[in-house]
Structure 1
Amino acid sequence: MYIFSQLLPKLGQAFTLNLGEELAERRLVFTAFTPPVDARERYTLAAWLSAHLAFQVAEWHEIAQWYGFESVRGFSEGVSAFSPEDLYSNLAGARLAASLIVGGQTKTQEMYNTAMETALRQALTQLAAQPAQITRFQFDMLDGRWWNSQRRVPEKYLVLHRNYQMGDDRLPTAIPGEIMPLLPLSLPHCWRGIQLSTLAQLQLWPSEDMAQLPPPAHYYSEKDFAALAEQARLQDEKTQNH
């Protein structure tokens, strides 16, 4: 919602939206272009472009957590980095939010919150979500494979299995022995012939405290995410095998 609220009034203009530091200075850089004449089309384009960028911000958060970001100083967030459900659930959230925006459910914060609660319940029903008791049982079945119940937050290897895949064309992390088909989720990269990547870019510029993040030549962008995630995967594999 925040990105959309800042983008819609300026759609088609060149401007930069600063999102603050997260191991790097996060900047959304928008390019100048001729937006659709129709107000409804401008609104829809802004909604999907915002979702596209919001998911990239979520991807960066996973990377930043692994490379040493701390929202509370002294409290490592490495345990949460690339956890199996994170980016799939973030992608689902981005899709739901965009759908509510396009559907006109954002006139007030209360309207949006109510609509999102309804949309989440519907999505969970479609995904055959299970009661808490069954969910806890399934978590217990993954103890020792996906997580270690003998460890506590913030110990990094409380989480034993991670999903380092980047990108907004995703399947949920497969659970061993699961017979239900995996539901793919994705975001559009093109709207009415317009490539969304040509309209805006998330740029990650060097900051004063980058922890273990290697400094980029100029700045990081979505194109660098897969390589940073793969480096993290290789390091985790090496550490866990020793």
Structure 2
Amino acid sequence: MSRSFFRPFYAVALFSLLAGCSSSTWQTHAVPSSNAVAEMLADGQASSQQWHLDESRFPQVTVPQNVRPCCAFGDMQKVKLGPVPVPFFRLNNVVGIEDIGPHKFASGIYHYTPSSSSVLDHGGSENNGILYTAKGGFIDLAHVRDTADDTMGLFFEILANLGKVHRIELPAELGPRYIEMKAFDASQLTEEQKWSVAAHLAARLAYFKAESHEIAQWHGYASFSGWPETISAYSLEDLYSNMLGAKIALQLIQTHKMLSEVEYNQNVSLWLNATLEELGIVTKSQSKEVLAAVDGKWWDSQESIPNKYMVLQRHYSLGDRQAPHLLTPELLGDRFEELQPLARSTATVISLPAYAESLELDHIAKLVLEIEPSYEGTFSHIPEHIWAKRIEHPQFPIIAQYAKRQDSQELIAIGVDDE
């Protein structure tokens, strides 16, 4: 589920629009190596990686400070502001392939891309939402885009500091959040190998940043005071969507299709749509049918946002291998006959490599989350030695399992079977 689901409340979120839509553009250039020029002059065959980037001219791209607002899991949900229902309002979250707009790095609530800069058949906003795919389950487009942008935002800084002790500050949530890079001998790596290691580190750490956000939401972090986001924590489509974004950005970095912001935006747009097609995106109306089929099992249409248990099914399996939640014949029973073929699809499991160029990436850099005193009470169900000083990303799956246990107890208490 989206990390922030305030799309209908533009007035409340105006400052996010102003902050999120401003970003420094970047542009760097691949400089041909002397060997490449010599081969060209001698009519030789072009070979790969025959160029380098001048480190002094690396763009100052940073991790975006805001996440994209989008939607809560479900369709046409009711909304409450405090104890008061919003009358005659339902939140329409679902999009189809024809609705998806061009990507914009670090986009805020709204950003317009003109058709002249778009590689799609239209310009406009990103128009994020959720959709269903036969092999990837539900996909939250805001999560895909956010983690792609975080990967891009981390890459050049990681590349410039590879092999050194270095700290990359990230936006705080439950407390300070940062990446700790460790020293190692990088002198034996070629420029191509350094590029590869930095790319894989950026994708991996951007994904673990998304995991840390799921933890933060469960433990009470909210983008806006008074609007709880526990409903979003560990939502079943979140992390698969985040990992898709990391993998798309990793592909663009490895193939050098991101040397300017325009090039990056255009290629994310192309790869996002192509990835959704490969996963078997269904029509908007079919996505709505699937949401109706799992109403009462994965979500409860009788509850209102932001009630935590409007969402009934969550995904607590953190880590670098992600499998989607798919529709099954058992979920359908004897209902929704038209969805039966979709319920027999095979899942596409995705992962991020733990090694690059024979280096174990978690030994090179870790994402760290520290807990401020104001949030310590939300960790009372977890042994203190696990979280008291700092939490490193290899510990995130442990934290999630304690959340799963607590949620199960709460669901049983309100008479809901979470199996």
TM-score (normalizing by structure 1): 0.95
Residue number among 230, 233, 237 corresponding to 1:85 in the alignment: 237
Query: What does residue 147 of structure 1 align with?
Result: 299
**In the aligned structure 2, how far is the partner of 1:25 from the partner of 1:155?**
28
Query: What does residue 239 of structure 1 align with?
Result: 410
Confirm whether residue 164 of structure 1 aligns to residue 316 of structure 2. Answer: yes
Higher relative contact order (CA 8 A, sep 6+): 1
Query: What does residue 8 of structure 1 align with?
Result: 159
Query: What does residue 379 of structure 2 align with?
Result: 213
Between 151-160 and 207-216, report the one with greater CA deviation: 207-216
Residue number among 367, 389, 393 corresponding to 1:222 in the alignment: 393
**In the aligned structure 2, how far is the partner of 1:56 from the partner of 1:166?**
9
**In the aligned structure 2, how far is the partner of 1:176 from the partner of 1:63?**
28
Report the structure number with the largest CA radius of gyration: 2
Query: What does residue 106 of structure 2 align with?
Result: none
1:42 CA drift (Å)? 1.1
Confirm whether residue 24 of structure 1 aligns to residue 175 of structure 2. Answer: yes
Query: What does residue 186 of structure 1 align with?
Result: 351
Residue 206 of structure 1 aligns to a residue whose secondary structure is: coil
**In the aligned structure 1, how far is the partner of 2:371 from the partner of 2:273?**
40
Question: AA paired with 1:217?
Answer: A
Aligned length: 242
**In the aligned structure 1, how far is the partner of 2:379 from the partner of 2:164?**
32
Query: What does residue 144 of structure 2 align with?
Result: none
1:34 CA drift (Å)? 2.2
Query: What does residue 43 of structure 1 align with?
Result: 195
Residue 177 of structure 2 aligns to a residue whose secondary structure is: strand
Query: What does residue 198 of structure 1 align with?
Result: 363
1:175 CA drift (Å)? 2.5
Query: What does residue 326 of structure 2 align with?
Result: 174
**Mind listing any 5+ residue stretches in structure 1 that lack a counterpart?**
none
**In the aligned structure 2, how far is the partner of 1:161 from the partner of 1:132?**
22
Confirm whether residue 62 of structure 1 aligns to residue 214 of structure 2. Answer: yes
Question: AA paired with 1:72?
Answer: F
1:208 CA drift (Å)? 4.4
How big is each residue's C-alpha offset from its partner over 1:176-207, in whole Å with a ceiling of 9 and x where there is no partner?
A: 32211111100110112110011001111232
Between 33-42 and 128-137, report the one with greater CA deviation: 33-42
1:17 CA drift (Å)? 0.8
| Residues 193 and 357, structure 2, Cα contact 8 Å, conserved in 1 | no
| Residues 196 and 357, structure 2, Cα contact 8 Å, conserved in 1 | no
Query: What does residue 110 of structure 1 align with?
Result: 262
Higher share of residues assigned helix: 1
1:240 CA drift (Å)? 1.1
Between 117-126 and 27-36, report the one with greater CA deviation: 27-36
Residue 210 of structure 1 aligns to a residue whose secondary structure is: helix
**In the aligned structure 1, how far is the partner of 2:319 from the partner of 2:252?**
22
**In the aligned structure 1, how far is the partner of 2:245 from the partner of 2:171?**
22
Between 64-73 and 32-41, report the one with greater CA deviation: 32-41
